[in-house]
């Protein structure tokens, strides 16, 4: 079977969609599916050299709609080579071009099946967030003129989790897909732990030597709830120890930890990710600098990659993400894959699967909610934390491994 994936960009710095596409393709390739990608990247983009599947980069789109004059004729000429076409995402020219191309090739009697994978872009958060009012109006008009027709004409809409499927029904009307299918999203196995990972992290964060810590790994952005996390951490830490600190030290192989020494009252907090140079990122750093409690506990190493990233996952006690909106949360699943429990808000759309499998703790994306997450972890006995660690890995294998997700995806796009 041959599948064409239509993607706005494959640049890893643009976030989760291109990473999800790469993971989907890796899983499908194991099932002997032939995959190709067409994207609006520069043909000489260096990151394309790392992909082991064909990527047809037609050039960067122009303007806010990312218009590219070459895309529509390319799709008309090439769509007939594929049994299925998957459009990843919405709201830009490439999804409109896919619909126009499909109509033309259908007229010639050679049309493939068309599927839309929104990757969270139908989440009502984007219509309700205070800072997105103009974009919300634009999206409503765009839906009425164009996007509702794409949704209605597609053979099915593919979702990464049940929560995403339910939320997609809310923001726009009419919403009349022929079928909706939860295919999930697999995340590749992490590399096995190596001491070099620990050393790579310590090179960036020497303060972590001998110290347990909690890990936030995502963009430093208002949507991710970093301000909530810092405020909640400060209040819980200032309240004093709620449990014997040795429990935390006995829990896990913290980076370079000497478990004969009592751990801090609350594990340190590593806030890692891009965005420190933004206005929001600078405010978060100022918040920490102006707090005697946070100064001693919070580290901002910036974006972690390679060994340092995996060292951060393997060395942490738990991963925390109090996001106001998260369609999937690949970093959350990567933490589970490393056997680390996750403390997440109920706005991370995979919370149902994680809570059901026992791989983490869930609370609202509010200050009391995040305080509850941190306080629960601090009070938990070592035995409970160890149980959560074990369930974290089981949750990954049961819900988010690449193989089962690829099987579900392939089954969904077959006739």
- Transcribe 158-170 into DSSP letters: EESSHHHHHHTTS
Cis peptide before 250 (omega within 30 of 0): no
For the segment 166-172, the average pLDDT, to the nearest whole number, is: 95
Question: Strand pairing of 180-182 and 156-159?
Answer: parallel
Confidence of residue 240 (pLDDT cuts 50, 70, 90): low
Confidence of residue 140 (pLDDT cuts 50, 70, 90): very high
Q: Tokens for 238, please give them.
A: 């200032």
Gap between the Cα atoms of 226 and 125, Å rounded? 17
Whether the CB-CB separation of 311 and 338 falls below 8 Å is answered with no
pLDDT for 370 equals 97
- Transcribe 330-365 into DSSP letters: HHHHHHHHTT--EEEETTBTTHHHHHHHTSEEEE-S
Q: Which of 59-68, 243-252, 253-262, 290-299 has the lowest mean pLDDT?
A: 243-252
pLDDT for 131 equals 83
Q: What is the dihedral sign for C-alpha 397, 401, 404, 405?
A: positive
Q: Which of 88-97, 253-262, 376-385 has the lowest mean pLDDT?
A: 253-262
pLDDT tens column, 89-111: 999 999 999 999 999 998 888 88
Gap between the Cα atoms of 28 and 240, Å rounded? 50
For the segment 221-229, the average pLDDT, to the nearest whole number, is: 96
| Verdict on whether the full-model pTM lies above 0.75 | yes
For the segment 306-335, the average pLDDT, to the nearest whole number, is: 95
Length of the chain: 415
Gap between the Cα atoms of 86 and 242, Å rounded? 50
- Residue 211 in this model has a pLDDT that exceeds 60: yes
Gap between the Cα atoms of 322 and 329, Å rounded? 11
Q: Which of 12-16, 55-59, 258-262 has the lowest mean pLDDT?
A: 258-262
Count CB atoms within 10 A of the CB of residue 86. 26
Look up tokens 């960067």; give the residue: 60
Where in the chain are all domains bearing CATH 3.40.50.2000? 2-182, 195-399
pLDDT tens column, 346-376: 999 999 999 999 999 999 999 999 999 999 9
Whether the CB-CB separation of 58 and 74 falls below 8 Å is answered with yes
Gap between the Cα atoms of 251 and 245, Å rounded? 10
Gap between the Cα atoms of 336 and 392, Å rounded? 5
Indicate the CATH number of 2-182 among 3.40.50.2000, 1.10.390.10, 3.90.1150.10, 2.60.120.20: 3.40.50.2000
Angle, alpha carbons 197-200-205 (nearest 5°): 120
Assign a CATH topology to domain 195-399. Answer: Rossmann fold (3.40.50)
């Amino acid at each position: 079977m041959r599948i064409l994936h239509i993607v706005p960009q494959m640049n890893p710095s643009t976030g989760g969609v291109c990473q999800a596409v790469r993971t989907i393709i890796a899983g499908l390739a194991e099932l002997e599916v032939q995959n190709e990608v067409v994207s609006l990247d520069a043909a000489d983009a260096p990151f394309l050299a790392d992909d082991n599947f064909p990527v047809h980069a037609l050039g960067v789109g122009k303007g806010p709609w990312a218009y590219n004059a070459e895309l529509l004729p390319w799709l008309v000429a090439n769509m007939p080579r594929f049994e299925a076409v998957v459009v990843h995402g919405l709201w830009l020219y490439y999804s409109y071009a896919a619909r126009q191309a499909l109509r033309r090739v259908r007229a010639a009697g050679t049309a493939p099946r068309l599927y839309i994978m929104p990757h969270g872009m139908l989440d009502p958060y984007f219509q309700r967030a205070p800072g997105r009012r103009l974009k919300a109006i634009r999206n409503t008009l765009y839906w009425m003129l164009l996007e509702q027709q794409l949704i209605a004409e597609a053979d099915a809409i593919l979702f990464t989790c049940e929560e995403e499927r339910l939320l997609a029904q809310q923001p726009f009307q009419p919403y009349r897909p022929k079928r909706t299918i939860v295919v999930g999203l697999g995340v590749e196995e992490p590399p096995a732990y190596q001491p070099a990972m620990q050393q790579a992290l310590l090179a960036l964060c020497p303060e972590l030597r001998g110290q347990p810590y909690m890990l936030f790994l995502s963009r430093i952005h208002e949507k991710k709830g970093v301000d909530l996390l810092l405020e909640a951490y400060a209040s819980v830490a200032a309240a004093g120890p709620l449990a014997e600190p040795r429990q935390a030290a006995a829990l896990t192989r913290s980076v370079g930890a000497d478990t004969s020494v009592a751990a801090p009252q609350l594990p340190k907090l590593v806030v890692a990710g891009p965005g420190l140079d933004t206005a929001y990122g600078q405010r978060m750093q100022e918040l920490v600098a102006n707090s005697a409690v946070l100064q001693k506990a919070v580290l901002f190493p910036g974006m972690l990659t390679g060994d340092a990233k995996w060292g951060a996952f393997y060395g942490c006690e738990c991963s925390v993400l109090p996001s106001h909106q998260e369609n999937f949360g690949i970093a959350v699943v990567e933490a589970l894959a490393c056997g680390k429990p996750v403390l997440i808000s109920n706005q991370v759309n995979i919370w149902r699967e994680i809570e059901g499998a026992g791989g983490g703790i869930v609370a609202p994306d509010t200050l009391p909610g995040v305080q509850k997450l941190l306080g629960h972890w601090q009070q938990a006995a070592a035995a409970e934390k160890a149980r959560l660690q074990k369930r974290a890995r089981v949750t990954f294998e049961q819900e988010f491994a690449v193989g089962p997700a690829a099987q579900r995806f392939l089954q969904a796009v077959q006739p």
